[in-house]
Amino acid sequence: MTAASDEQTDASADELRNALADRLRAHNIIRTPAVEKAIRRTARHLFLPGVPLADAYADHPVAASQPWFVATMLEQLAVEPGHRVKEVGVGTGYNAALIAAIAGPTGRVVTIDIDADLVDSARQHLAAAGVDHVEVILGDGALGHRAGGPYDRIISTVGAYDIPTPWFDQLATGGRLVVPLRLRGSSSRVIAFERRDDRWASVDSQLGVFMPLRGIGDDARRIVSLTPEPDITLQTHQDQTVDAPALAGVLDSTPHQVWTGVVLSGEVSYEWMELWLCLRLDNALMRMNVSPDAAARGQVAPMFAWGSMATTRGADLIYLTTRPASSDPDGLKLYEVGVIAHGPTSDSLAHQTNDEIQTWNRDYRTRSVRFELPDTPETADPTTGRFVLDRPHHPITVIWD
């Protein structure tokens, strides 16, 4: 017999879950009936024990990926009934449960993680939710799980710098891979790849940053503080060089500003401009995280509440900023992009960044971008918007069409 309080909790969970699905559908995040049905039927709160019910169904990250991005990646994955699916990164088990709901009883879902605690908790959550056709494997996700393949779909919920070859080897003919791929510096996109002749080609890409893959595919990050507190920090990657001792006290130097004349709406993402800068600048872009206390000191003028994108060269630091521009005819708020520079020779780096932003705005802003992993590495031609990113196993070609 079910207690009255349990019935009320279940009813509240159903209402909250349906409200979440309604919001995701209204914002065109959910685009297919299969994904909508899975989100409406999968009890997310059972994968987040101890989290208040309202938080479990809110569209923000709570010990798990934000629901809107979970739905986005499911749409990219395009699972069909009966599919065999491998997931790298078990998380709470919620994503695997959603995939299982779409693949159905004739499908098979394998999820793998190197963290034993996550594997154990995911198994418990799946059991509590009554999901019995997901296999949770303890192992290095970069190696995959050949015994469960070949897979119609493979999805990674952890970021990769170089796509492990076993992922491609374990895909069935006609299969699709969805992976958060770090391109250069801080630029990362979740890309859906399918096989096209002599290469893997993107069929969709979305802005997204995930915790990096661990194990043999590790892409560790490094944090460099610019202040003693430390409340202004740079997040750097293995393809970047930061001279921390040389940057000591760099923010105490008088800043120099360069305004680009490039104007963007406050409702437009900066993702493609930032990708262009990551490809063109010698040291790419990195996140400069700024705490509220540091922002209140007025030591920096970040672009966003969290901070700005930045880069360094020896003892020089530059970062992006904005200032209000006049509104467009539709009343949208417009902002001009600028560069703030600190350091003894930072003017040249600031002007180089300014030139690249103007080049992007003039020649590439209206173009689309695609990503390819050719069997034979290709030749870069940056003057036409074609870049090749070196990798140990699968170099990435970035093409501005």
Segments in 281-332 forming alpha helices (H): 292-297
Q: How far apart are CA 143 and CA 140, in angstroms?
A: 6
- Distance, CA of 161 to CA of 240 (rounded, Å): 13
Instruction: Tell me what the mean pLDDT of segment 332-356 comes to.
Output: 96
pLDDT reported for residue 345: 96
Burial of 311 (0-12, 13-18, 19+ CB in 10 A): buried
Of 127-141, 273-287, 326-340, the one with minimum mean pLDDT is 326-340
> Would you say residue 27 has pLDDT above 70?
yes
The pLDDT, as a whole number, for residue 212 is 65
- Look-up: residue for tokens 């430390």? 230
CA-CA distance, 129 to 108, in Å (whole number)? 17
b/e burial code for range 234-247 (CB count within 10 A of at least 16 → b): bbbbebbebeeebb
* Cα distance between residue 159 and residue 149, in whole Å: 22
216 versus 357: the higher-pLDDT residue is: 357
Whole-number Å distance between alpha carbons of 192 and 171: 13
- 4: confidence class by pLDDT, cuts 50, 70, 90: very low
CA dihedral 327, 332, 338, 340 (to 10 degrees): 110
Place 11 in a pLDDT band, splitting at 50, 70 and 90. Answer: low
Q: Is a pLDDT exceeding 60 seen at residue 10?
A: no
* pLDDT band for position 7 (cuts 50, 70, 90): very low
Compute the distance between CA of residue 289 and CA of residue 88 in angstroms, rounded to an integer: 28
**Band (31; pLDDT cuts 50, 70, 90):** very high
Which residue from 190, 191, 154, 196 is spatially nearest to 171, judged by alpha carbons? Answer: 154
Tracing tokens 């970040």 back to the chain, one arrives at 302
Q: What is the pLDDT, as a whole number, of residue 220?
A: 75
| Environment class of 288 (CB within 10 Å of its CB; exposed 0-12, middle 13-18, buried 19+) | buried
H or E element at residue 387: strand 386-389
Question: Hey, what are 284's tokens?
Answer: 């790419």
pLDDT band at 8 (very low <50, low <70, confident <90, very high): very low
| Per-residue confidence (pLDDT) for residue 275, from 0 to 100 | 97
pLDDT band at 1; cut points 50, 70, 90: very low
Whether residue 373 contacts residue 366, with contact meaning beta carbons closer than 8 Å, is answered with no
pTM of the model: 0.92
| Lowest pLDDT segment from 11-15, 39-43, 82-86, 128-132 | 11-15
The yes-or-no verdict on residue 9 having pLDDT over 60 is: no
Asked if 123 and 102 touch (Cβ cutoff 8 Å), the reply is no
Share of the chain above pLDDT 70, in %: 96
d(CA 396, CA 386): 11
Q: What is the mean pLDDT of residues 361-382?
A: 95
Would you state the structure tokens that stand for residue 258, as one six-digit string? 């360069």
pLDDT category at 286 given cuts 50, 70, 90 is very high
Confidence of residue 259 (pLDDT cuts 50, 70, 90): very high
| Mean pLDDT of all residues in 363-376 | 96
Identify whether the C-beta of residue 369 lies closer than 8 Å to the C-beta of residue 272.
Answer: yes
Provide the pLDDT confidence category of residue 215 given band limits of 50, 70 and 90: low
Q: Which of 274, 270, 232 is nearest to 251 (CA)?
A: 232
Cα dihedral value 54, 55, 59, 65, nearest 10: -140
Active-site annotation, residues: 65
* pLDDT recorded at residue 6: 42
Mean pLDDT of 173-201: 96
Q: Partners of 20 in the beta sheet?
A: none
At 245, phi and psi to the nearest 5? Answer: -60, -40
From the list 25, 108, 126, the residue with the least C-alpha distance to 67 is 25
